[in-house]
Amino acid sequence: MTLFRSRGAFVAAALSVLSTPALAHVTFETAQTTPNSTFKAVLRIPHGCDGQPTLKLRVRIPEGIVAVKPMPKAGWKLETSKGAYVRAYQVHGETISEGVTDIIWSGSLDDAFYDEFVFQARFTDAYQPGATVYFPVVQECEKGIAEWVQVPAAGEDPHRLASPAPGVKIVAAANASPVARKVGALTIDQPWSRATPGGAKVGGGYVRITNTGSEADRLVGGSFPGASRVEVHEMAMDGDIMRMKPVQGGLEIKPGATVDLKPGGHHLMFMDLKEPLKEGQTVKGTLVFEKAGPVEVDYTVRGMGAGSGALPAADEHKH
């Protein structure tokens, strides 16, 4: 009996489940990692199938996860299936085009007991911060099968699924420093944004811009996925109140100068956001300069408390 579909089809699969307890799903002990990193996966099995002992555990390895090495388990037979990857991957200068696609442990685990199954795997650059990688798992029991293979659709809460596949979220490395982008005389460094709460209609963008040329340029706007427009804003006193308002004509970057767009100072505003920004995401956007023209940048989304200064309230941007 074939319990897994093809590697390309499993993401959309939501197979029927003979036994789906409301709680105690199959999960990973650590549920996050960074791109291009080796991950120790500890799969937690909290119960059998409707009171029956687990006799076999199958784990499907998604495309983009390579160099898989399962850990032998005392009292259990260990098998793997291997196959070609959809594309080749570079790992430490070596090209890898095939590897483990399935891991199977066979033994016996009573329904009354809990156990863990371990494997090591390399997460490639096929997955970037903000993505979640799902590993379909099937328990074959003495009488019945439990299939943890459901993958949430975009925007769907995985906790609402009856039999969710265990997932690993990809987050940005804590010490990751984006490579500066140089366009003509301008150097674009460290673009980032803050996570926003659900329902927020505005977001902030921050970046360091250095002009090494002999002529001034101006940052006049940009584009951002899910936003109707991008505006350059500044904080300025209005009587005794500090308010935020658009910079008319764009922000000047003088020759030899470095300008920091940061919370509490000049910044970009992403207007009319259609969905919240989530910590760990990398979002591609565009900065537009008067002379240099459009420049593509990658915004790293940090936590809501990142930086200093307050994110402007939505009602402050009704002009």
- Do both 202 and 234 map to the same domain? yes
Q: What mean pLDDT is reported for the chain?
A: 85
Q: 156-194, pLDDT tens digit by residue?
A: 888 889 999 999 998 877 655 566 788 999 999 989 998
Q: How far apart are CA 298 and CA 9, in angstroms?
A: 30
Question: Would you say residue 176 lies in a domain?
Answer: no
Confidence at residue 31, expressed as pLDDT on a 0 to 100 scale: 92
Q: What range defines the domain where residue 249 resides?
A: 181-317
Question: Would you say residue 49 lies in a domain?
Answer: yes
Question: Would you say residue 2 lies in a domain?
Answer: no
Binned at pLDDT 50, 70 and 90, residue 281 comes out as confident
CA angle 263, 268, 273 (to 5 degrees): 105
Question: Would you say residue 5 lies in a domain?
Answer: no
Interacting residues of 125 by C-beta distance below 8 A, sequence separation 6+: 35, 36
Q: Are 171 and 33 in contact (CB under 8 A)?
A: yes
* pLDDT, mean of residues 297-313: 66
Q: How far apart are CA 66 and CA 101, in angstroms?
A: 9
Residue 208 reports pLDDT greater than 80: yes
Confidence at residue 2, expressed as pLDDT on a 0 to 100 scale: 44
- Do both 270 and 192 map to the same domain? yes
* Region label for 64, one of left (φ > 0), alpha (ψ between -120 and 50) or beta (otherwise): left
* pLDDT, mean of residues 115-144: 92
Q: Higher confidence at residue 5 or residue 195?
A: 195
Domain total of the chain: 2
- Do both 186 and 162 map to the same domain? no
Q: Higher confidence at residue 305 or residue 285?
A: 285
Q: Any idea which residue has 């080796």 for tokens?
A: 38
* pLDDT, mean of residues 137-164: 91
Point out the domain boundary residue: 141, 170, 199. 170
- Do both 150 and 48 map to the same domain? yes
Q: Which of 48, 74, 32, 38 is nearest to 171 (CA)?
A: 32
* pLDDT, mean of residues 59-87: 96
Most trustworthy range by pLDDT among 64-78, 122-136, 230-244: 64-78
Question: Looking at residue 220, which CATH number applies to its domain?
Answer: 2.60.40.1890
Binned at pLDDT 50, 70 and 90, residue 306 comes out as low
Share above pLDDT 90 across residues of the chain, in percent, rounded to a whole number: 59
Confidence at residue 10, expressed as pLDDT on a 0 to 100 scale: 40
In what helix (H) or strand (E) does residue 139 lie, and over which residues does it extend?
strand 137-141
Q: Are 44 and 101 in contact (CB under 8 A)?
A: no
- Do both 231 and 291 map to the same domain? yes
Lowest mean pLDDT among 20-29, 134-143, 183-192, 217-226: 20-29
Question: Would you say residue 115 lies in a domain?
Answer: yes
Q: Copy the structure tokens of residue 11.
A: 């993401």
Q: 250-273, pLDDT tens digit by residue?
A: 999 999 999 999 988 899 999 999
- The pTM assigned to this predicted structure is 0.55
Question: Would you say residue 209 lies in a domain?
Answer: yes
Residue 77 reports pLDDT greater than 90: yes
Point out the domain boundary residue: 170, 202, 221. 170
Q: Higher confidence at residue 306 or residue 233?
A: 233
